[in-house]
Every structure is written in structure tokens, then in C-alpha cells.
Amino acid sequence: MGAADAPQTRVYVTRTLTLTASLLAAGLGFIVFLQFGASDGFDAFDVLRAVLIFASTFWLAWGAFTALAGLTTRPPAVPRDAGPIRAMTAVLVPVYNEDPVATFARIAAMDASLRATGFGERFHFAILSDTRNDEVAARERIWFLRLLADTHGEGRMFYRRRTSNKGRKAGNIEDFIKRAGAAYKYAIILDADSLMEGATMVEMVRRMEAAPDLGLLQTLPTIIRAKSRFGRTMQFAGSFYSPIFARGLAMMQGRTGPFWGHNAIVRMHAFAESCALPELSGKPPFGGHILSHDYVEAALLARAGWTVRVDDDLTGSYEEAPENIIDHAKRDRRWCQGNLQHSRLLLAPGLKAWSRFVFLQGILAYIAPGFWLAFLAASIAAPLFAPPIDYFPIEYWPFPVIPVSQVSKALGLAVGIGGLLFLPKMLILLDAALRGRTRRFGGTIRALQSTLTELLFSSITAPIFLMFQTRSVLQVLRGADGGWPAQTRGDGTLSFGDAWAASHWIVTTGGVVLVMAQWLSPQLVPWLLPVALPMALAPVIIAWSSRASTSALFTVETELAAAPVMLLADRTLTRWQDFEADATAA
């Protein structure tokens, strides 16, 4: 159920309607706020705040109408080749200072799953190590031998470690393509924490075989194995909401779809001919290697005439995710730098208009929180610049003219913005209940409870994420390079001290906001409490949400019944860990 053959007119109509509706919602917010702000006398701050409301509301509306597009459109079935698979496919697993036992156990599981399809010999695994730690690299070599022995993988499993990690992940994959790409028709690109059913890989090849113009096919990875309160909340949100948003995205993007850097298949010669990445002039963060290479590679494939699409019906594609807010923020810092770096590419020659718009969306995703913060700051400071109220505007009229209260407009605006945040998720819940999809999430009542709790949790954590994202943007703008830190896997439990060390500045900011509001605009304090209180309690929220969850809420399908490839990976990992423990004891 992808957007493979959706007529371009349908794609253009979906894009136009979504963009028009988002602009209209933003324009309405602009007008309503301008009327509210000017009630005490019109000044430049009213215009500034109305513009900030316009920009912020547009971004919220864009997400809401993307979900609506996903709920109301059904792309036609995609073509697939049903014959025997003859093409060779390389499964690329880039690693960077990862635990080789866990990573290679996943590879062994995927290999076993592929062999069960009868097409295992048509898939080769290539472990592409960019590991900088020599001790980790030594363990990689040892456990690769164990992987070979367990899978009888001679001739199908390959390992190499680069001496230089030039270009990071993109450079790692480019190095493989230059050395060995000609031996394969397709490449399935994974991350170190990726896991994929063999049947899904085979289906991806069949869809590529049936569409000679298809350069890249992206699956929708499902988050698995989350244990913490934060992790399970994100896992539920990703499993429950993301398929709908992805369907809307597929219908808007058409043949100019996304690449998220992993759990996707590419046509090798198309990728090799189209996706060589330049090194941008100047120093990081805006110069140097392109960090968010995936969006750029999708744009380059589209520029060369290849179709790029996401098929949201492809199941059996999994990944893991950070277990706490701090690890999420660290990863998000890299994404922020990569997306802002795309500002250098907006005017690159030959790109499709939609590709440029995707770059712009990525930039807006990180600067939109700054709009909200600027709006709050401008609202607190507004009384300093507002003209005094003139109760006798009519010359020689002896009675005062009392300004009409604009509270209803303020409430209407707040309700409208809240609706853009909450209504899409409630509509997704209703759709899931009507279609029976809630059975995969513990039933309709459990799904309702999970959705309402997720809405509450996301509202509480939103100000914290807003602060982390704003800091990331400011760091990039002042020239700080965040680099490419290794991912944190496993237990993500944080002590209060760890949480305080990472977020004390958010507490200070929340306190300053309340003090300034009480001093300059006391009437704003009740409106600011939903933002300032989570900021003041940030360490508590971060530490609490990193703890293991024992709640029955946020149930997802893979918790009710683990996927076969997950069970294979678990058995392999347990056996290997026992072997390692015995070897260490001996």
C-alpha cells in the first residue's frame, strides 16, 4: 500500500490541499491574534507576535493535515514480481563502536530468517565497521568468526574495518559501493540496531524487480524492545500514529519520497551513479561532510529521474530507540545540525521542487520551537511597549470608552492550536477502533487509555524538548560542531543527579520565565504554567521517565506476540552471552 502508481495529479491535489489548509489555518491564527493583541492599542510587538503565531501554527497545521491525508487516502496496490529471485542483494550493516555481540546476533537472526524463505543464498551480509575504539574492533573480529561459524556464512558474510571514517556513515557505504557494489543489483541498508524479517527483504526485492524506475524503497521501521516509561511511550506513538502519518506522507511525496537512512533498499547502480555526496566548503557545522545524508541522497535520486517511495504496508521492519530524554536529545542534536546544514543545498541545481520543500520542512522542524519561545518572550515583554489605553478617544465626549474584552479570541486561539495537536491523534484512534487495528494494541479501551496518557505525557515533555531543540539550533548558529557521537544502547536509567546535570539550565530558564511574567505580565502567568512548570521540574520528569515501565499501558503488537526474527535474535543473543560468560569465567 505505497504511493507507487498513484497518479501525479492525485499527488499534486493532495499536496495543494494540505498546503492550502495549513496556510489558511496559520492565516486564521494570525488574524485572530492580531485582533486580540491590538485590543490594548496597536504596536509593533502585536505584529511580531502575530507573525510568530503564523509560523508556529503553520507547522502544527502541516502535521495535522498530513495525518488527515493519511486517514482519507488509499494508494493503489504496488506491483511485485512473483517469480524466482535471481538478483543478488547486499545487506549493509554499518557499525560504529557498537556491542558486536548484540549487533551480530541480529545479523545471525536475519540470516536464518532469510534462509527460511528459500532465497538466503541471494543475500550477502556486509558488516562495515567505522569503529574507532581498538578494543571494540578486536571484539568485532572475534565475534565475526563466531557469526561465520554459527551461520556457515563463508562466502555470504563479510567484515571490514576502515582505517579512516571519512564521510562517516555515508562515506562508509560509499566505500563499499566503490569496492564491491558491482557484484550486487540491490543493497538493503540497515543500522546497527535494525532488525528485519527475511520475508520483508524478499518482498522488497520483488517490488524493486517489478518497478525498473524505482531507485529506493523505504519501509516504515517499528520501534521494539523499549523498556522505560519514555521508551514505551515513544514505541507506542511510533507504532500507533506513524503508519497514518507515513501514508499521508507517501501520498504527498509520490515519486519524490523520503529516505531515512536505514531499513530501506536501493538499486545499486542508481545509487552509485546519483548519490555521491560533495564535501561542503567551510568548516562544520554548515560545512564539511553532509550529516543528514539520507534526505540528500533521496533528492539526488529524484533529480536523476529515479522514483523514491515509502511503502507503509511493509511490515517486519524494526529498530530500537533511545530509552531516555537525554539520549534522545543527543541524537536529535546531530539531526538538528544535519537539517540546518541543508540550508546550503536549498538552491542546488536540478533538484525537484518537492525535494527543496522537504529540506525546508526539515529546517522548519528545528526552528519552529524557537518561534514559540520568541512568542512567549515577546508576550511577556509586550506591556513595556504597548501604548497607554485611551479611555476618552472621542474628543469632547464626557464618558469613558471601555475596551471590549478579547478573552474569547484568546481562548478560541488556544483551543484551535490545541486541536491541531490533539485532534489528529484522536482521529487516528477512532479510525483504528473502526478498522479493528486497536486489537494489536490491547483492545480499544487499552488503546484509548494509552492515547490519552501519551497526549498528557507529550504535553508535559514538550517544553523540555523545546528547550533542547532551541539550544541545539543556537549551538549550530554560533558554529559549534556536534560531531557524530556513538549511540547509547541498552539500559537508559538515569539518576536524579544525571538528569539535573543535563537539564539544570532548563530549570533556571523556567524560573526566569515565571519571575519575568509575574513582574511584567501577571495576567500571563496562568497561561505560562503548562510550559514553565515542566521546565522547572525537568530533572524529575527526565529521571522518572527513564525508569523501567511496569504499566500495562502502551501495549504494542510485538509485546503481545514477538515477531519471529525477534525470537531468533533473542535466542542467539542469550546463547552467545552465555558462551561469553563461560569463556570469561574460564
Residue 50 has a pLDDT of 87
Residue range 489-501, pLDDT digits in tens? 777 899 999 999 9
Residue 388 has a pLDDT of 55
Residue 460 has a pLDDT of 96
Q: In this prediction, what percent of the chain has a pLDDT beyond 70? A: 91
Residue 400 has a pLDDT of 46
- CB neighbour class for 145 (10 Å; exposed up to 12, middle 13-18, buried from 19): exposed
What is the rounded distance in angstroms from the CA atom of residue 511 to the CA atom of residue 380? Answer: 14
Question: Which of 345-354, 415-424, 543-552 has the weakest average pLDDT?
Answer: 415-424
Residue 393 above 60 pLDDT? no
Residue range 458-473, pLDDT digits in tens? 999 999 999 999 999 9
Residue 5 has a pLDDT of 45
Nearest to 261 by CA among 468, 79, 484, 74: 484
What is the rounded distance in angstroms from the CA atom of residue 178 to the CA atom of residue 273? Answer: 11
- Nearest 5°: phi and psi at 216? -150, 135
Residue 390 above 70 pLDDT? no
Residue 585 has a pLDDT of 64
Query: Going along 8-138, which residue ranges are E strands?
Result: 89-95, 123-129
Residue range 11-54, pLDDT digits in tens? 889 999 999 999 999 999 898 888 776 665 666 777 888 898 89
Indicate the helix (H) or strand (E) that contains 267.
Answer: strand 264-267
Domain limits, the chain: 1-79+211-386+407-555
- Average pLDDT of the chain to the nearest whole number: 90
Residue 406 has a pLDDT of 45
Average the pLDDT over 340-364 and give the result.
95
Alpha-carbon torsion angle 232, 237, 238, 239, nearest 10 = 90
Sheet holding 307-310, edge to edge: 157-161, 123-129, 89-95, 186-189, 264-267, 214-218, 307-310
Question: Which of 118-127, 182-191, 508-517 has the weakest average pLDDT?
Answer: 508-517
Average the pLDDT over 105-111 and give the result.
98
Can you tell me whether residue 187 is helix, strand or coil?
A: strand
C-alpha cell at 314: 511493509
Extract long-range pairs of 280-285: CB within 8 Å, 24+ residues apart. Answer: 280/341, 280/344, 283/479, 283/481, 284/337, 284/481, 285/337, 285/340, 285/341, 285/476, 285/479, 285/480, 285/481, 285/482
**Please, where are the H alpha helices in 436-495?**
444-477
User: CA-based diameter of the chain, in Å?
Assistant: 101
Residue 383 above 80 pLDDT? no
Residue 221 has a pLDDT of 96
Residue 39 has a pLDDT of 61
Residue 42 has a pLDDT of 64
- Nearest 5°: phi and psi at 217? -125, 120
Query: Going along 37-185, which residue ranges are E strands?
Result: 89-95, 123-129, 157-161
